[in-house]
Amino acid sequence: MFGPIAAPVQTQRLLLEPLGAHHAEEMTQVLDDLRLHDFIGGAPLPLGELRARYQRLAAGPAPFHQEGWLNWIARRRRDAQAVGTVQATVTPGVDGLSASVAWVIGTHYQGFGFATEAAAAVTGWLRGHGVTALSASIHPANAASAAVARKLGLRPTGDLADGEIVWRDR
Ligand SMILES: CC(C)(COP(=O)(O)OP(=O)(O)OC[C@H]1O[C@@H](n2cnc3c(N)ncnc32)[C@H](O)[C@@H]1OP(=O)(O)O)[C@@H](O)C(=O)NCCC(=O)NCCS
């Protein structure tokens, strides 16, 4: 695996757990809403496919790739309810590691600041583990995700990736 390996991270309201195949069952329910895919494409996966996907994500890319996949489940601490996921793809950067980050919060749990809280914790953790440059690719109409990125200190650049605006912290 290239770069740091995901470890548990705690915030005021959330516990971020490194994602594994065992999370698939509870996450199919959290993620079972077509609206979550308005700006990111795809569709909710049935349990078997989500479990296989989580297995692949947890295994990471083939060792010869200079790339690390870090994924966390965000769990609300007060009742252990899973609320979403945060993802970071780590690659070599100019003066350290670069990480591209993404976030999804289940529809029922949106609007409470969970994406911001989880993503801020993950980006802080990444910075403490050698990441010196952060980016996120966000659909131009995804105002909620743009608001999260802005609160993390990212700014939109003129770069586009697959029709999405690339946001960077520098
Ligand atoms: C993007 C997403 C993760 C945000 O989750 P969340 O937990 O509701 O986010 P937060 O509560 O931390 O912050 C949301 C911010 O967006 C704002 N917001 C929400 N809906 C909005 C809208 N339609 N237009 C403008 N701003 C909006 C909120 O006001 C808040 O900003 P504020 O704190 O400055 O008021 C969630 O909407 C989601 O999972 N969407 C589907 C998946 C997705 O698009 N992921 C992003 C991939 S780049």
One-letter identity of residue 59? A
**Quick check: CB of 57 below 6 Å from ligand 1?**
no
Model pLDDT, residue 120: 98
Residue ranges covered by each domain of the chain: 9-168
Fold of 9-168: Aminopeptidase (3.40.630)
Average pLDDT on 3-29 reads 98
The pLDDT tens digits for 82-101 are 999 999 999 999 999 999 99
For ligand 1, the distance from its centroid to the CA atom of residue 67, given in whole angstroms, is 28
Q: What is the pLDDT of residues 101-152, one digit of tens each?
A: 999 999 999 999 999 999 999 999 999 999 999 999 999 999 999 999 999 9
What does the pLDDT look like over 31-77, one tens digit per residue? Answer: 999 999 999 999 999 999 999 999 999 999 988 899 999 999 999 99
Return the closest-CA partner of residue 30 out of 80, 81, 66. 81
DSSP string, 13-30: SEEEEE--GGGHHHHHHH
Substitution site in 38, 72, 139, 145 for ligand 1 pocket (most atoms within 8 Å of beta carbon): 145
Residue nearest to atom 21 of ligand 1 (CA): 144
pLDDT computed for residue 1 by the predictor: 76
The residue type at 70? L
| Atom number in ligand 1 closest to CA 84 | 39
